[in-house]
Structure 1
């Protein structure tokens, strides 16, 4: 997401570390912050109170009593066949950001990550679904006057398509700043890897598969986690909010290719509809996860409470 005139926000989304069981996997949601109420109308301007109010199952978890969307920032951490994986790294602390809601954030994200059993030195792989500010921030932490990798023993992975796109565009200063403090330091440390993702997806480790979800950004991916015949899918930003299950054509103001984003969303939802796959929304507020079921010509999210098997 780019900048927007939002108030400063700090803190976490609650106590405890929510988890979901998928086969032998335990997927942890590592909370960073609730995003302020102004985020929804800015991010998904088509999700007006009138539209949201027509979807009663969104309240109270996914929308407030005024039919304003709730959104959050968090990561997912999971150990898959001995590989300790973190999907996306949020906004980060102490970073200069044009968006007031993200500027010099001071959250206890690293404490919560450690409480989940993922001390930063033990993380093996960081999957970056795409290179937006609120998905790469904890790639690095402050050390002296500079920035060093937060996960010094991990490989940081994104798609070649994603990297090539941003390397070839004329970025505004706010985005250049984000690359300077959160992307270039891991690349300079030799920890940054690029992967080619074909249309059918690619397995980057046993039980971990990247699926292409272009539109929001050209090289964005969703992350599929599989164990003993059970599956979970971390959305990245191909689906920002459950209201898009009802209105798949409802796009984000920051989608680079809105038509492709809507097409991707429809494809992903269609593939999940009626299955037991657990959908984990990268910005869905608690309860965050659920199954996609058909509802007329569109879809509905049936929430799956934390600490439950799919």
Structure 2
């Protein structure tokens, strides 16, 4: 998700969600949700204009967790993964101190890094950062401001995105706001020599044993989802291929910032069909609590059956 015509709400000086951590144990792979902030109530109706009250009423299971009277509820968080002894961060949220067109994202002052450290991932310990795509709310903590310059937040990490994603934006004509985001959150990582590009074919790209990038184009041309395989069960982190659980019930609903809405619908249908009625967890990058669930066939559509965090891991 990005914000070209953002909902208007002024950011607060601190994070707006409770400082809790949830985690899911897949068997030798553990996924932690690291909260950044709840997104303003206006975000859902703006981002998913087709998710009207009538559409939400067709999926009563969405309330109260995923929707309220204002529409779909959304959040900004990232996922920190322990796999094969590596500490991997999937997406990096909005970030602190960044000049952004969206007032709700402008010059944030959240305790995200403290939450990440509390989950066992201090910045200096992170081995790999995966950016599912290069949008403002997925790359923000790539960097932090030190001595007046934007530098990589994770000093020993490799940063990874798909080559198709990089090539698209490298050739795109950017407005000033998007250009600013690249200057403060993407280019410093590239300039540090920590930025890697992966070719992601149809069958996916195995990064390490048990972690694979899956092509998920539509929202952006080179977006990827992240497949994780534990000894107990698999999981899929969506990026923005699925913004909200209402898109399980109505996969044709597109976001106002999808670059190719028709391709986004095809991608969502493919991913959901592969997850349906299996033991694989679906974890949405913008899903509010409870965030993770099982995809179940439901009256010719799909629904999300929430999966609680693993006892002793949260």
Tell me the TM-score normalized by structure 1.
0.97
Counterpart among 186, 192, 197 of residue 183 in structure 1: 186
Q: Is the 8 A contact 2:7 2:43 kept in 1?
A: no
Counterpart among 272, 275, 284 of residue 275 in structure 2: 272
Q: Is the 8 A contact 2:89 2:126 kept in 1?
A: yes
Task: Give the whole-Å Cα distance in 1 for the aligned partners of 2:254 and 2:18.
Answer: 29
Count of matched residue pairs: 308
Q: Is the 8 A contact 1:9 1:33 kept in 2?
A: no
Q: Is the 8 A contact 2:210 2:230 kept in 1?
A: yes
Task: Give the whole-Å Cα distance in 2 for the aligned partners of 1:308 and 1:62.
Answer: 22
Query: Pairwise mapping of residues 289-308 of structure 1 onto structure 2 (< 5 A)?
Result: 289-307=292-310
Counterpart among 57, 70, 84 of residue 53 in structure 1: 57
Task: Give the whole-Å Cα distance in 2 for the aligned partners of 1:148 and 1:2.
Answer: 24
Unaligned stretches of 5+ residues in structure 2: none
Q: Secondary structure at the match of 1:187?
A: helix
Asked if residue 174 in structure 1 is aligned to residue 184 in structure 2, the reply is no
- Kindly report structure 1 stretches of 4+ aligned residues shifted beyond 4 Å: none
Task: Give the whole-Å Cα distance in 2 for the aligned partners of 1:153 and 1:12.
Answer: 30
Task: Give the whole-Å Cα distance in 2 for the aligned partners of 1:50 and 1:228.
Answer: 41
Q: Is the 8 A contact 1:12 1:109 kept in 2?
A: no
Matching residue of 1:16: 20
Q: Secondary structure at the match of 2:180?
A: helix
Query: Pairwise mapping of residues 197-216 of structure 1 onto structure 2 (< 5 A)?
Result: 197-216=200-219
Q: Secondary structure at the match of 1:18?
A: strand
Q: Secondary structure at the match of 2:186?
A: helix
Query: Pairwise mapping of residues 1-310 of structure 1 onto structure 2 (< 5 A)?
Result: 1-3=2-4, 4-10=6-12, 11-64=15-68, 66=69, 68-307=71-310
Task: Give the whole-Å Cα distance in 2 for the aligned partners of 1:182 and 1:37.
Answer: 26
Q: Is the 8 A contact 1:240 1:281 kept in 2?
A: yes
Task: Give the whole-Å Cα distance in 1 for the aligned partners of 2:8 and 2:96.
Answer: 17
Tell me the TM-score normalized by structure 2.
0.96
Instruction: Provide the alpha-carbon RMSD of the alignment.
Output: 1.1
Task: Give the whole-Å Cα distance in 1 for the aligned partners of 2:61 and 2:11.
Answer: 27
Q: Is the 8 A contact 2:28 2:84 kept in 1?
A: no
Can you list the C-alpha shifts for 1:156-204, whole angstroms capped at 9, x where unaligned? 0000000000001101110000000000000000000000000011101
Can you list the C-alpha shifts for 1:86-110, whole angstroms capped at 9, x where unaligned? 0000000010000101000111100
Task: Give the whole-Å Cα distance in 2 for the aligned partners of 1:149 and 1:111.
Answer: 17
